[in-house]
Structures are given as structure tokens and as C-alpha cells.
Amino acid sequence: MTNKPLTLAEKVWNDHLVVKGKDGSPDLLYIDLHLVHEVTSPQAFDGLRLAGRPVRRTDLTIATEDHNTPTWDIDKPIADPVSRTQIEALRHNAAEFGVRIHSLGDAEQGIVHVVGPQLGLTMPGLTVVCGDSHTSTHGAFGALAMGIGTSEVEHVLATQTLPLKPFKTMAINVEGTLRPGVTAKDIILAVIAKIGTGGGQGYVLEYRGSAIRALSMEARMTICNMSIEAGARAGMVAPDQITYDYLEGRPHAPIGADWDAAVAYWNTLPTDEGAKFDTEVFLDANTLDPFVTWGTNPGQGVSLNENVPNPDDISDPNEKAAALRALEYMDLKAGTPMKEIAVNTVFLGSCTNSRIEDLRAAAAIIEGQKKAEGVRFMVVPGSARVRLQAEAEGLDKIFKDFGAEWRFAGCSMCLGMNPDQLAPGERAASTSNRNFEGRQGKGARTHLVSPLVAAATAIRGTLSSPADLLEQNAGAN
């Protein structure tokens, strides 16, 4: 073996190779952590039952309830029969197969991608899978984390491995310093607008550069979370001291000599000097503004200071057609300043932006301010643990005083599988990750925003950045 310089993703891949694929057949990779939720697992467990197979490694598997769980009245039976059936099936399967589960009402219940990191189960260098596309979130730790389908869930439950085809690597270099009011969400929305919703197809993305290194773990999770919106297989950030500081002392983090051994290994993971990526992309953090979407896919975004784009200015005929259709669905006119768009609802939540830092950042902006008349502000912590922590810090009081709904943990309005939905024609500023047609309710219109923009928008009623509040206050004086 020569010492060919390798990327982070290649190292993790190589270290999990169980069987190398021959003649173009996929490699068989070992899976270190399998996260399970109620939507994509019932048929996988049923398949095991049918074939008389056990879960191979219950000690590498963990389940939580998130997509269907209500965020009000969580002590009452779930009204919707499909939701209730899925949750009951998960509880039953977990009990039958011996899988650890965090059910509604449990302090560790919450969105699967919030729960794994918060328990310290997500670590650098792991392979992590879940029957959910936003599994890419866990890549923030330098793990190779991928979303899988139901038949693959069954495969991992039975074998703790997955046959996987090789990937290409893409470096996303973000250099410079973010200006105040600009966040990780704005970076990733700008990246997707740049490379497009299919730009990452077949790639594992590695986010690099001084702007990424300066981000907290939670901010890195926000970025990796949305890798899938660029079509990527996964997104990663190399582990560093920030990663270790976040992990140390968490319930499942190694301790003592194990911790030292782990850190020694993790230190070998970052991409080697001279390693070659198949593609490189560059983004200047210094000039970045808050970014928001105007259309119906996450790539249709602009700086908040700009106007709704004119489809006539788009040369690609497919993209132009998509833009026309999106503007019609969104009921927007080309040339309208983004800041003049009024919303009915602000949603702070989802696996993209529902962690404690997101709640703190939004609370800091609304504290002592008045909510815009007629605007509904829903705050849905990512996990019961985040909710408890926020309450310990008094954030719930700030939200409630402001007039926001302080809800229980879950996916909630991110996809509206539970009763948290927009009415047809309603418009939301949402910190989630998908602005697809009908995603947040039939006929609902979604603008993806950062938590800071969400908070400022709740105050002004139109899409706004924190800087607009300062101007407003200065104007009033």
C-alpha cells in the first residue's frame, strides 16, 4: 500500500470495509450506528419477522418517535389513525426485538437527528444510517452519515452492514468571517443556490475553510443537514477541538483511557494535505448576507436584500420553467423586494434549526419586542431535552411573553404529518429544510430562513433580518 493522501470521507469508508466489491459490485460497509423512527421502520421489522431474523446488533440501534408525534396534548391519544398506528408499531417492534426506544413523554424523545448527537452517540469517524434523508446531519462530527430506504433499514437491522456504491468527493470551501446576523443556515442556502439541488448528486461533500472551522457543532449540523437538498449522498466536517469539546461528558461519549484512544484516532481523520477532491467549490463568507428562498425548492434562494428574481433572466429553459411555476405557486411577482413579503406564520423548528443555540439566538432577538399583529409564531424544540434546557434558561418565558406557541418536541410543521400544518395559501418563514409544494400543508407557501431571520420576521411581519430591526429602532429615535 502506498500512502496516497486521502480525504476524510475516504478514510471513514476504508475503515469500515467488510468486503471489497469485485467487478463493479458494491462494497460491503459496516454500520456503527443505526437510528430508527416510526415512519420508515415498520415494514423493515415486519420483514425480519417474516424471515425469522433477529436484529443483529441491538446495542448499535436506537429508536425515537418524531415524525408523527403531536406537539400539544402529548399525554392524550394520537387522533390520526395512521400516525397512531405507526407509533404503536414502533413501540411494539422495539419491545419485540429489544431495541432501545425513546417514546413521547421521555426526556430523550425528539427528532432522530437531534437525539443522536445530544446523547453523544454520534461521533467522528462513524458510519451512521437512518431511514431518513436528513441523516446527513451527523456528518458534522466527521461521521459518514447517510439516509437509507426501508429495505435497507431491514438490511442493516439484520446484518449491521450495507452494500454501498463508491462516491465522488466535493470540497465546499468557505473562507472568511461571517458578518453579524449571518449564520450557518445562510451559508448552506447560498451553497445550494450555487450548485443547485442536483449539484451534489453522487458526491460526499466536505465543508472546509476558515468560516466552517469557526462554527459551533450545532451550526455545523445545520449545514450538513441540508447537504441532501443539494442532492448529495452525505456532508461532512472534519473533527477538531470544537467537536471534542461538544462530545466530552455526553452520556455515551467515551471516558478515561477510551476517550484518549478515541481522540487519538479522530485526530487521524481530517483530509490529508494534498488529497484530491473530484470537485471543488468556493464561497466567500465575508460578503454573505442572510439568505432566503423565494421558490419551491431549496436552490431557489436569494440574499434577503435582493428582489424576487425574474424568470426571463434565467437562461436555462428548464430552470426558467421551474421558476415560472414556482412564482405562481408562491403567488409572488418578479421584482418584489424579498423584504416586502408578508407571512402568516413563523416556524422555528426541524432537524435543521431546533437546537438550543437556535432557540437562544431567536430568543435574544425577540426579547422585549412585540410580535407583529396577526402573525403566528410556533416554536418547536428538536427534542424533549432541548425543551427542558430552554426552560431551565428561561427561554420559554421569553417566547411566551412574545406571544409565541411553546410546543413539545418533534418534526411538527417541517412536514406536517401531525396536525401542525399551514392552511392552503398561507405563507410561512420556516427554519426547516424543504420548501416543496405542499410540504407544510396543502397549498402552503414556505420561505426557508435562518432562526435569526425567523425571529426578526416575527417582529416585523415581513421577511426581515436582525439588521432591519436596528434600522427600525434607529429610525424611531
Query: Are residues 379 and 405 in contact, defined by beta-carbon separation less than 8 angstroms?
Result: yes
Q: How far apart (Å, rounded) are the C-alpha atoms in residues 418 and 409?
A: 12
Mask for 370-409, x = binds other proteins (CB under 8 A): ----------------------------------------
**Cα pseudo-dihedral 322, 351, 207, 185, rounded to 10:** 60
Residues 294-353 within binding reach of other proteins (CB under 8 A): none
Q: Does 62 bind other proteins (CB under 8 A)?
A: yes
Contacts of 397 (CB under 8 A, 6+ apart): none
Pick from other proteins, ligand SF4, none: which does 383 bind, CB < 5 to 8 A by kind?
Answer: none
Pick from other proteins, ligand SF4, none: which does 59 bind, CB < 5 to 8 A by kind?
Answer: other proteins
**Identity of the residue, 129 or 171, whose beta carbon is nearer to ligand SF4 in the bound complex:** 129
Q: How far apart (Å, rounded) are the C-alpha atoms in residues 218 and 183?
A: 11
Q: How far is CA 371 from CA 123, 182, 292, 403, in A?
A: 39, 22, 20, 7
Mask for 115-154, x = binds ligand SF4 (CB under 6 A): -----------------x-x--------------------
Q: Does 127 bind other proteins (CB under 8 A)?
A: no
Q: Does 28 bind other proteins (CB under 8 A)?
A: yes
> Of 137, 139, 126, which Cα lies nearest the Cα of 222?
137
How near is the Cβ of 137 to ligand SF4 at its closest, in Å?
A: 8
Tell me which of 32, 186, 206, 420 binds other proteins, using CB under 8 A.
32
> Of 366, 456, 449, which Cα lies nearest the Cα of 406?
366
- DSSP β-ladder status, 376-379 and 345-348: parallel
Q: Does 447 bind ligand SF4 (CB under 6 A)?
A: no
**Residue pointed to by grid coordinates 396543502:** 442
Stretch that binds other proteins, among 189-197, 217-225, 259-267, 394-402 (CB under 8 A): 259-267
**Identity of the residue, 159 or 197, whose beta carbon is nearer to other proteins in the bound complex:** 159
Tell me which of 6, 9, 12, 33 binds other proteins, using CB under 8 A.
33
Number of residues that bind ligand SF4 (CB under 6 A): 13
Residues 313-372 within binding reach of ligand SF4 (CB under 6 A): 350-351
Query: Are residues 106 and 344 in contact, defined by beta-carbon separation less than 8 angstroms?
Result: no
Q: Does 95 bind other proteins (CB under 8 A)?
A: no
| DSSP codes, 123-159 | -TT-EEEESSGGGGGGGGGT-EEEE--HHHHHHHHHH
Query: Are residues 110 and 382 in contact, defined by beta-carbon separation less than 8 angstroms?
Result: yes
Q: Does 85 bind other proteins (CB under 8 A)?
A: yes
Pick from ligand SF4, other proteins, none: which does 111 bind, CB < 5 to 8 A by kind?
Answer: ligand SF4
Mask for 66-85, x = binds ligand SF4 (CB under 6 A): xx------------------
Pick from ligand SF4, other proteins, none: which does 126 bind, CB < 5 to 8 A by kind?
Answer: other proteins
Tell me which of 21, 120, 176, 196 binds other proteins, using CB under 8 A.
120
Cell readout for 291 is 439568505
Pick from other proteins, ligand SF4, none: which does 32 bind, CB < 5 to 8 A by kind?
Answer: other proteins
Q: Does 111 bind ligand SF4 (CB under 6 A)?
A: yes
Query: Are residues 123 and 247 in contact, defined by beta-carbon separation less than 8 angstroms?
Result: yes
Degrees, nearest 5: CA angle 202-172-268:
90
Stretch that binds ligand SF4, among 54-62, 118-126, 164-172, 408-416 (CB under 6 A): 408-416
Cell readout for 21 is 466489491
Mask for 142-181, x = binds other proteins (CB under 8 A): ---------x--xx--xxxx-x------------------
Q: How far apart (Å, rounded) are the C-alpha atoms in residues 172 and 120?
A: 26
Bridge partners for 172 per DSSP: 207, 281
Q: Does 252 bind other proteins (CB under 8 A)?
A: yes
Q: How far is CA 261 from CA 143, 265, 269, in A?
A: 17, 6, 13
Cα-to-chain-centroid distance, residue 306: 25
**Identity of the residue, 398 or 415, whose beta carbon is nearer to ligand SF4 in the bound complex:** 415
**Cα pseudo-dihedral 438, 440, 444, 448, rounded to 10:** -110
Q: Where on the chain is the footprint of other proteins (CB under 8 A)?
A: 18-19, 28, 30, 32-33, 42-43, 46-47, 50-51, 53, 58-62, 82, 85-86, 89, 100, 120-121, 123, 126, 151, 154-155, 158-161, 163, 251-252, 254, 258-259, 261-262, 265
Q: Where on the chain is the footprint of ligand SF4 (CB under 6 A)?
A: 66-67, 111, 113, 132, 134, 350-351, 411, 414-415, 432-433
